[in-house]
Amino acid sequence: MKKDIHPKYYPEAKIICACGNIITTGSTRPEMKVEVCSACHPFYTGKKRLVDSAGRLDRFKKRFEKTAEMKAGLAKKQAVKGKKKKAKLVIEKKISKKKIAKKTAAKKVIKKK
């Protein structure tokens, strides 16, 4: 087998739960932090309670608000761009109408000769 390809193994690795419970086990990481463990999980304790649903909901609401703000800003930018494009199109139409008028006038002069 090749040497030095395996990660270092920690036989006394600690798992620290949000409730304060510390579990010692073996792992490739010296310390891990978890939100729920067997000492506080509703399935193991028999207590009915929501597990971090408020935190998840708050995070979702924050992300949703950010996307709404981004969409509002984008819509505002597009509205400004749309006005500029319309103004540019109107100018181009006026110019093109003048060019067409000049070309038709030039053709009439050529035909008369």
- Kindly report the three-state secondary structure assignment for every residue of the chain: CCCCCCCCCEEEEEEEECCCCEEEEEECCCEEEECCCCCCCHHHHCCCCCCCHHHHHHHHHHHHHHHHHHHHHHHHHHHHHHHHHHHHHHHHHHHHHHHHHHHHHHHHHHHHC
Give the tens place of pLDDT for each residue, 53-64.
Answer: 567 778 888 888
pTM of the model: 0.40
Residue 28 has pLDDT above 60, yes or no: yes
Residue ranges and CATH numbers for the domains of the chain are: 7-51 (4.10.80.400)
Contact assessment for residue 28 and residue 8, using Cβ atoms and an 8 Å cutoff? yes
Give the pLDDT score at 111.
58
Residue 112 has pLDDT above 70, yes or no: no
Lowest pLDDT segment from 48-52, 58-62, 66-70: 48-52
92 to each of 84, 87, 99, 105, 108, how far by Cα in Å?
12, 9, 10, 20, 24
Average pLDDT over residues 59-77: 85
